[in-house]
Amino acid sequence: MIEQIIIIALLVLSIHYTMQPDEIFGKLGDWLEDHLPDAVHPAVFACNVCQCPWYGTALYWLIPWYHELWQWPVVIIGAMGVNVVINKWAPEKEELKTGNNDL
């Protein structure tokens, strides 16, 4: 179950990152921002933790591994937690551009 949590967390993080401005699906993210209500932005492209329940559920049931219904919420909540930790440890893009890395 730990490997499922990590795999889903990293896949959701990848989906999130690719929809950011200046990335491969940045234009899709811009289009979604213009055409979707503000209330659904975090769940669709703006927040990797908020995307976990939606994209993570689809990934959990589409990836061919052993499934049990009771494990599904545990894996999704665990993936959300992993993404929270990643968000806390990862530097912001602005910090990387300015070179201000006082770690």
Q: What are 60-87's pLDDT values in tens digits?
A: 999 998 888 999 999 999 999 999 999 8
Q: What are 13-26's pLDDT values in tens digits?
A: 999 999 988 899 99
Q: How confident is the model at residue 2 (pLDDT cuts 50, 70, 90)?
A: very high
Determine the pLDDT at residue 70: 93
Determine the pLDDT at residue 101: 54
**Rounded to whole angstroms, what are the CA distances from 80 to 4, 10, 53, 65?**
12, 10, 8, 20
Do the Cβ atoms of 52 and 80 come closer than 8 Å? yes
Mean pLDDT of the chain: 88
